[in-house]
Structure 1
Amino acid sequence: MLWLTPLWAQAAAVVAQLDRNPVALGDPVVLTFTADGIVSGDPDFTPLHQDFELRGQSQSNSFNMVNGVSRVHTEWELHLYPLKTGTVHIPSIQFGSDKSQALDLQVADQPAPAAGNAPDIFIELAAEPKQPYVQQETIITQRMYHIVQLQPQASLTHPSVESGKGDIQQIGNTVNTTAMRNGRNYQVIERRYALIPQQSGSLTLGRTTFEGILAEPGGRFDPFGLSGKPIRRFSQPLALQVREQPASYTGKQWLPARSVTLNAHWQTPPDKLKAGEPVTLTLAIVADGLAAEQLPKLEVQVPAGVKAYTDQPELRNEAGSSGVVGVRQEKWVVVAPYNGTYALPGLAVTWWNTTTGKQETAKVDAVKMVVTGGQAAPAGVATPPPVAQPQTPAQTNPQAAAAVAVSSGFSWAWYAAALLLMGALLSIGWLAWRWWRKPGGVLKEKAQAAALLSTTRKPDAKAVWRSLEQACRQNQPQAAQDALVQWVGVGLNIQPALIASLRARAEPALQTEIDALNAALYGRGGAGWKGAGLWTAIQHFKPAGQVQRKDAGRADLYPD
């Protein structure tokens, strides 16, 4: 073991060296540490993380003996990507009690194109609008332009909020197209995102990063797409100024959107209802530019004498041509036990039109419910008030009013008490008779409503298919949409059960029909909608395998 003594006695000298200097932002640089001798400890590369991204690290050792003297040579090789431009300081790195010297690296901006030419690869971020209101949907478009051939193993990060507060998610799929810039024909990879600012003030999206390998002309075939020149390119950060809610807005809930509509659909026409029979009323808010989760609960004022039950709302987000279209749908089961005419008040939702910059109101008109086929309400049971009649001069004559109030010595208090007692006895007797004749009473009505809602939640596939066919043949867009959503879940087993999920898997013909259905429901020509095309297209649809979501942070440019 004596021959090892010179080895441990050697003093280690650690030298740092860069493979190139200067370097362009986005291009890698190799930092090598060389030690002749045994260092007194493991290296600590933590100080490098402040200004560099470490993407690879290796260590090699060699041992030799010359003229009886043992020598150890160790190299540490680090692959670094600078995170900023300018003069980047590489600090001294500790190897136990040994250390390397410090270096300075000059980092230029992304490589400048040749004189008179545009760059071969560049990324842009754009926002519309650039000064949104708080909670207003802002469309972020990410485009990567390239004119050089890329290997399949490439990725482009999604935009993310760097400062400020907001939520962002991709809408639709990645689109590949072409565009002319500065006389050059570029291949363009485009993605669209919906950004919802959550507070006013400044909001900044950080730069997005492309990372790939340039195919080398004349290079040998590489089935794995790993040969070539590694390359990185960045977009510029995107800054937005988010405006506050206007002081002139008077709505209960802040709803900035491009359009908002209210729809009501009765299973049975409201003027042809039957006493004691439950009927489904479907209410929907459709907002172009708002997510379904932002839409308010509808406050339905049920008239006296009518019972109504509702289930959890159905929330859907569809990818429209201008962004996200949110739909909140509520199904109400309405039961009127007795004959009569009932007034169901209208609904109103106040919202802010981001296109015109004005407050508007979406409305559903009041409805007169006419109920027949049953019995009149017994005494003591709330019934709809009689229709108010305009007063005549004789009704408002002060002398006639005074004459009514004249007492003739008869006790009105005792008379009224006797009438109330008789009415109570009659009501109790009638209710007992009704309970004996129809066991279950109110519990039966609630059971009927619960059964109807349960049927809505768990529909039969064959029944849904027949409902879809009927709605299409009768040109009923709302009923067709309801049936289509159910068919996506129970018939096609697509999850989540959204029309957007079906559209993403559909052929162009079915996509066109789905867009036409959405256009009709969003108030752009619903009266002229024809369901024959949708019915034909859905019959020819063949479901494919499920598509799994990619990593939210980094997405492949060429997914499988």
Structure 2
Amino acid sequence: MSRLFFSPQMMRSFLGGLFILLAFSAGARADTLSASVDRDTISLQETLTLTLRFYAQTSDSPDLTLLQKDFDILNTQQSNQMRVINGDMESFTDWRIALAPKRVGTLEIPSFTIEGASSDAIPITVESQNRAPQNASSDVFVDVKVSKDSVYVQEQILFTIRLYTSVNLNGAEMTPLELPDALVVDLGENQYQTNINGRQHIVVERVYSIFPQHSGELIIPSLTYNVSVRSGQRDPWSDPFGNRRNNLLRLRTEEQRVNVNVAPAQFSGQDWLPAKDLQLTEHWSTGTERLKVGEPVTRTITITADGLTAGQLTPLSLPAVDGLTFYPDQPQNDDQTSNKGVKGSRIETLAIIPNRSGKFTLPAMRVNWWDTESQEMKTATLPAKTVQVEDALGNITPDPLPVPPVENPPETTPINTDMESTTPDIRVVNVAPVWLIVTALVLGFTTLLFAWLYWQARRELRAIHSFYIAEKTQDHANETAAWNELKRAAANKDYPATRTAIIHWAQAHWQDPQLQSLQAIAERSNNDALRAQLKKLDEILYRGDAGSDWDSSELVQEINNYRRQKHHRQKQQDSLAPLYKS
């Protein structure tokens, strides 16, 4: 195997080019400003959080006076971050602004401008006095809400649990929601303020998506909140937690019941897909007007459903087309979650290799689904697609023309029977034996066939090997960048940033975007020492104790030990023979 040697000058050039590439990728989304809110429908007594993100580092700040017409600004936080996603470096600046509405109605968060980039305006619906939950007179209480009391099987239910407190808390822990006959997806936790009966409360809200798997009655059991309450007055916004004497409370939610119906008789589709919306989209790696024989082209088909997980989306039916060979890749599933539910997507990628020139039509694709809003069956469609394939000379074989029917019989030629008047025409032709011709043709065809098969196999092996190496390198780069981000946050004793960095690292380490909390990471690690350190960090964050003397180096060391174990196992796997020798 040959080796490559780099001179110092070549190495400097390479590193310089790499720096320029990273800088270009970091600036690919520069001059972009986005705006988002955690909730777009609130009551007059509640608060919301506005997040502005500028995709670059900047010293400018948004003009927040534009908000003062309709909102009171309660708190503002700014942060600068840098991360690597799928090999692309991304740098951005965030502003998080806590807002309280001034009036009832449809308010608007205006558009902001930073360095020439503008964000979109966001409408906010503000309702009048919110419904006071039961036990609202208590200092600490819980309330639950179910989005629907009657659904179809596998239809999404939003289950919301809210913990209200008007006093100082030192911690709160809820028993996990487990349902044997349903799929449960944790959509995350959110905090805001509200005013109930003239008293200011902090609300800790957690939302779950529930997908019942069987018809009948679904029972959501009573859940227990273990709350540690400390005495003394406090500012509910700036210091919701503390370290004083604690009183323990056990708060229980009410049991909820939901009627689950079978799929309606009006649905005639092959697979039952209840959703708010479902879309089919496609993308081609190149134009389809002039494809080449033997050159692959990639077709990517994405099915996206609002109200379904990616695991509920079934594979698409891909009919064969004469003249085209299909090589399907492993499908990719992705779930996007918010407090409004789950949006799942299934991405199917096909490598298509034309075997001959001509015009080919890929038939239309259709997916029937049930609209849970309008209560009717709908069909998502990808129209038929015609591709043109040319040969090596740039020619496209036309469609064969129909053979016209014979209308009149052919004229007959009279036969001369006068042997004496006929001049004989004698030709001598030397013809090779038939078996020799057939043997030569068979040998030539066999040689060409084996040569073509060898070339195709070697080409596919190289492509598979290159894809494997690139994918492994990319995963390692993502995990390494997340690890460096984790170490920086821990060294700065920025515990919220450390928590975020640990989640990013865990998602890259296990290749699982569903890891959204420290508790989930601790369970996934199956490591007692790491689990104890993650629990300590969670407790500090829940108390809001930013000035804690906790030494995060032990947590960093435990994570580093876990990484080394994986890298050791990976080296043992890499010691196997390569796919092919170069």
TM tier, shorter chain? 0.5 to 0.7
Q: How does 1:248-263 map to 2 (within 5 A)?
A: 248-263=266-281
State whether residues 213 and 227 of structure 1, in contact with CA within 8 Å, keep that contact through their aligned partners in structure 2.
Answer: no
Asked whether 1:443 is paired with 2:457, we answer yes
Which residue among 516, 521, 525 is the counterpart of 1:549? 521
CA contact (8 A) 2:297 2:351 kept: yes
Partner of 1:558: 542
In structure 2, relative to structure 1, the CA distance for the partners of 1:463 and 1:551 (3 Å cut) is closer
**Relative to structure 1, is the Cα distance of residues 549 and 455 closer, same or farther in structure 2, using a 3 angstrom cutoff?**
closer
CA contact (8 A) 2:169 2:242 kept: no
* Residue 329 (structure 1) aligned with residue 329 (structure 2): no
Q: Residues of 2 paired with 1:497 and 1:559: CA distance?
A: 30
Distance 1:258 1:387 in 2: 47
1:216–1:499 CA distance, 2 compared to 1 (3 A)? closer
Q: Which residue of 2 aligns with 1:206?
A: 221
**From 262, 265, 271, the counterpart of 2:283:** 265
| Alpha-carbon distance in structure 2 between the residues aligned to 1:559 and 1:334 | 56
Q: 1:355 to 1:373 in 2, by over 3 A?
A: same
SS of equivalent residue, structure 1 residue 132: strand
Partner of 1:494 in structure 2?
508
Equivalent in the alignment of 2:209: 194
Q: Which residue of 1 aligns with 2:246?
A: 228
> Structure 1: how far apart are the matches of 2:199 and 2:181?
38
Task: Provide the residue aligned with 2:191 in structure 1.
Answer: 176
- What amino acid is aligned across from residue 232 of structure 2 in structure 1? P
Q: CA deviation at 1:341?
A: 1.4
Following superposition, the deviation at residue 229 of structure 1 comes to 2.4
Judge conservation of contact 1:260–1:286 (CA < 8 Å) in 2.
yes
Aligned residue runs from structure 1 range 511-522, under 5 A = none
In the alignment, which of 148, 157, 166 is matched to residue 129 of structure 1?
148
Secondary structure at the aligned position of 2:186 is classed as: strand
**Shift in Å, 1:241:** 0.8
Q: Which residue of 1 aligns with 2:163?
A: 144
5+ residue gaps, structure 1, are 1-111, 378-382, 405-420, 465-488, 506-545
Which residue of 118, 135, 138 maps to 1:119?
138
Any idea what SS the aligned residue of 1:549 has? helix
Alignment of 1:62-461 (within 5 A): 118-152=137-171, 154-161=172-179, 165-172=181-188, 174-217=189-232, 225=243, 227-320=245-338, 322-374=340-392, 386=399, 431-432=445-446, 434-435=448-449, 438=452, 440-444=454-458, 446-447=460-461, 450=464, 454=468, 457-458=471-472
Tell me the distance in 1 between the aligned counterparts of 2:398 and 2:154. Answer: 43
Q: What SS does structure 1 have at the residue aligned with 2:152?
A: coil
Q: Which residue identity does 1:169 align to in structure 2?
A: V
Distance 1:452 1:276, change over 3 A: farther
* Deviations 1:264-301, CA, capped at 9 Å, x for gaps: 11111122312111122111111111111111111212
- Check whether the contact 1:342–1:384 (CA below 8 A) recurs between aligned residues: no
1:386 partner letter: D
Q: How many Å apart are 1:446 and its aligned residue?
A: 4.3
Please say if residues 358 and 398 of structure 2, whose CA atoms lie closer than 8 Å, have aligned partners that are also in contact.
no
CA shift in 2, pair 1:425/1:346, >3 Å: farther
State the Cα distance separating 1:143 from its structure 2 match.
Answer: 0.6
State the 1:205 CA deviation. 0.8
Aligned residue-pair number: 345
Give me the whole-angstrom Cα distance separating, in 2, the residues matched to 1:360 and 1:265. Answer: 23
Q: 1:218 to 1:191 in 2, by over 3 A?
A: closer
Identity %: 24
Letter in 2 for 1:136: E
Aligned partners of 1:293 and 1:462: how far apart in 2? 26
Root-mean-square deviation (CA, aligned residues, Å) is: 4.5
Unaligned runs of 5+ in 2: 1-133, 235-240, 410-434, 479-502, 525-534, 545-582
Partners of 1:448 and 1:269 lie apart in 2 by: 25
Is the CA contact 2:164–2:201 (under 8 Å) kept in the aligned structure 1? yes
Counterpart AA for 1:180: N
- Equivalent-residue separation in structure 1 for 2:310 and 2:443 (angstroms): 49
Change (3 A) 1:268 1:302: farther
Following superposition, the deviation at residue 436 of structure 1 comes to 7.2
State which drifts further: 261-270 or 181-190: 181-190
- 1:443 partner amino acid: A
Aligned equivalents of 2:218 and 2:331: distance in 1?
A: 33
- The offset of 1:141, in angstroms, is 0.8
**1: CA distance, partners of 2:195 / 2:207:** 20
Q: Tell me the CA shift for residue 251 of structure 1.
A: 0.9
Letter in 1 for 2:192: T
Residue 134 of structure 1 deviates from its aligned partner by 0.4
Pick closer, same or farther for the CA change 1:299–1:444 going to 2, 3 Å: farther
CA distance in 2, matches of 1:188, 1:343: 57
Rounded Cα–Cα distance in structure 1 between residues aligned with 2:354 and 2:275:
37
Is the 1:461–1:491 contact (alpha carbons within 8 Å) kept by the matching residues of 2? no
Matched-pair contact (CA < 8 Å) for 2:231–2:244? no
Q: Could you say what secondary structure the match of 2:190 adopts?
A: strand
User: 8 Å contact 1:291–1:324 — kept in the other structure?
Assistant: yes
Q: How does the TM-score come out when normalised to structure 2? A: 0.51
Deviation at 1:184, TM superposition (A): 2.9
Query: How much does 1:250 deviate?
Result: 0.8
Distance 1:192 1:363, change over 3 A: same
- Distance in structure 1 (CA, Å) of the matches to 2:186 and 2:475: 32
Query: How far, CA to CA, are the matches of 1:384 and 1:203 in structure 2?
Result: 61
AA in 2 matched with 1:342 = F
Q: What is the CA deviation profile of residues 184-235 of structure 1, one whole-angstrom value per residue up to 9, with x for unaligned ones? A: 322111011110101111111111111123213399xxx9957332211111
Conserved? CA contact 2:333–2:346, under 8 Å = yes
Structure 2 residue aligned with 1:88 = none
